[in-house]
């Protein structure tokens, strides 16, 4: 059985559309499936819509978070709930085309264990959004050492890969990169990002920046190396400037004015602050991990019908 996991945050208009569309396509292809909606603390009628969809279609089930925990947690919750032999994760705004799901499923049948959806085109976005996403993926690919520029959260994982993912103990997860970190027999499928028909993207430029910083810190220590690199650069500059100052001093001409002093204080001061900030951010993440709080809390769940749990 294929489990399709759909994280949903304020998507009341999309729930029924998504489940109907996926049902239509998978039924036509004779693929046994279940749909697992994860309501990520929506403020609109998303949960009511999920309940209705589940009442209409026995393949549909869902869990409801006690508040908004973010898409990463929602995807993991869906994977933990799912009982399929393979699990697919996709957006419930149908920007990930369900037709591609079939393609992925066929690859899984051929023995692939991790099938990654790769963006052929990015769909309609504002120029600013596209630019910031571009910068984010460049930085991220460097930090993670995996090419992430076309990666998406649209994936199909074999049960073994799902169990491997779920067994990772960390609280702060970055699904997109972890799915390639776990290894396994991997294939990729290209897809065109579709246009959103209802509702709007949950990502502002600011939240994208936060997402970028978080994921770089969560997934790599590259930012800590920045502190060392900055230190080395400043040290080299210090040696050069130091020699120059001494030479001038012994030649009886001290470096003139406060300008140099002010500049030095400003540059070094800000470097120290930034470095402390980076280290602080890592410590913050370590603190979160050490507390060991659950990744999410489930407030409600749709009980599966007996006929379908078998």
Q: How far apart are the first and last CA of the chain?
A: 11
Based on CB atoms, which residue is closest to ligand UDP, 112 or 174? 174
Q: Of the listed pieces 3-11, 136-144, 157-165, 302-310, which binds ligand UDP according to CB under 6 A?
A: 3-11
Angle between helical axes of 222-250 and 205-219 (0-180°, round to 10): 90
| Residue 201 binds ligand UDP, judged by CB under 6 A | yes
Cα 84 to Cα 151: distance, rounded to the nearest angstrom: 24
Exactly one of 4, 5, 7, 82 binds ligand UDP (CB under 6 A); which one?
7
Binding part of the chain for ligand UDP, among 5-13, 139-147, 285-293, 299-307 by CB under 6 A, reads: 5-13
84 binding partner (options ligand UDP, Mg ion, none; Cβ < 5 to 8 Å by kind) = none
Euclidean distance between CA atoms 48 and 221, whole angstroms: 42
Name the binder of 148 from ligand UDP, Mg ion, none, CB < 5-8 A by kind. none
- CB distance 208 to 133 below 8 Å: yes
Least separation in angstroms between CB 189 and ligand UDP: 18
Q: Which of Mg ion, ligand UDP, none lies near 59, with the C-beta cut-off 5 to 8 A by kind?
A: none
Please identify which residue in 2, 8, 151, 212 interacts with ligand UDP, judged by CB under 6 A. Answer: 8
The contact mask relative to ligand UDP for 86-105 (x = CB under 6 A, - = no) is: -----xxx-x----------
Binding mask 30-69 for ligand UDP (x = CB under 6 A): ----------x---------------------------x-
What are the structure tokens assigned to 218, written together?
């969560």
Q: Which two tokens stand for residue 18?
A: 């998504």
Q: Give the footprint of ligand UDP on residues 242-261 (CB under 6 A).
A: none
Q: How many CA atoms lie within 13 A of 175 on its CB side?
A: 25
Q: Are 295 and 38 in contact (CB under 8 A)?
A: no
Least CB distance from residue 209 to ligand UDP, whole Å?
14
96 binds, among ligand UDP, Mg ion, none (CB under 5 to 8 A by kind): none
Three-class DSSP category at 135: helix
Most distant CA atoms of the chain, gap in Å: 94
Which parts of the chain fold into alpha helices (H)? 12-28, 46-56, 71-81, 98-109, 127-144, 159-166, 175-181, 205-219, 222-250, 259-291, 306-309
Task: Give the Cα separation of 138 and 134 in Å (integer).
Answer: 6
Phi, psi angle pair for 61, to nearest 5°:
-140, 175
Q: Which of 9, 108, 112, 211 binds ligand UDP (CB under 6 A)?
A: 9
Binding partner selected for residue 8 from Mg ion, ligand UDP, none, CB under the kind-specific 5 to 8 Å limit: ligand UDP
Taking CB within 5 to 8 Å according to partner kind, which of Mg ion, ligand UDP, none is near residue 101?
none
Between residues 91 and 158, which has the closer beta carbon with respect to ligand UDP? Answer: 91
Instruction: Name the residues that contact Mg ion, by CB under 5 A.
Output: 91, 93, 95
Which residue is listed with tokens 């028909």?
A: 197
Q: How many whole angstroms separate alpha carbon 79 and alpha carbon 4?
A: 9
Are the C-beta atoms of residues 90 and 189 closer than 8 Å to each other?
no
**Binding-site member from 34, 51, 62, 70 for ligand UDP (CB under 6 A):** 70
Residues that bind ligand UDP (CB under 6 A): 7-9, 11, 40, 68, 70-71, 74, 91-93, 95, 201-203
């Amino acid at each position: 059985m294929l489990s399709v996991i759909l994280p949903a945050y304020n998507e009341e208009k999309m729930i029924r559309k998504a489940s109907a569309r996926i049902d239509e396509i998978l039924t036509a292809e004779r693929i046994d499936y279940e749909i697992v909606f994860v309501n990520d603390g929506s403020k609109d009628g998303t949960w009511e819509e999920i309940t209705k969809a589940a009442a209409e279609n026995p393949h549909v089930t869902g869990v409801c978070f006690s508040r908004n925990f973010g898409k990463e947690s929602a995807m993991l919750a869906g994977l933990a709930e799912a009982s399929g032999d393979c699990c697919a994760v996709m957006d419930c705004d149908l920007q990930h085309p369900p037709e591609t799901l079939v393609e992925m499923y066929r690859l899984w049948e051929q023995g692939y264990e991790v099938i990654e959806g790769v963006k052929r085109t990015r769909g309609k976005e504002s120029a600013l959004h596209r630019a910031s996403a571009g910068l984010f993926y460049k930085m991220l690919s460097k930090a993670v050492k995996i090419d992430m520029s076309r990666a998406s959260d649209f994936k199909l994982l074999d049960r073994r890969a799902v169990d491997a993912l779920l067994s990772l103990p960390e609280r702060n997860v970055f699904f997109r990169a972890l799915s390639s970190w776990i290894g396994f027999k991997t294939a990729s499928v290209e897809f065109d990002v579709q246009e959103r028909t209802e509702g709007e993207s949950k990502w502002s430029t600011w939240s994208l920046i936060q997402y970028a910083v978080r994921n770089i810190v969560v997934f790599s220590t590259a930012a800590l190396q920045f502190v060392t690199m900055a230190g080395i650069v400043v040290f080299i500059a210090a040696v050069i400037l130091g020699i120059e100052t001494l030479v001038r001093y012994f030649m009886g001409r001290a470096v003139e004015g406060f300008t140099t002093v002010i500049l030095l204080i400003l540059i070094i001061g800000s470097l120290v602050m930034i470095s402390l900030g980076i280290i602080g951010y890592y410590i913050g993440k370590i603190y979160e991990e050490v507390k060991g709080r659950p990744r999410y809390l489930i407030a409600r769940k749709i009980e599966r019908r007996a006929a379908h749990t078998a």
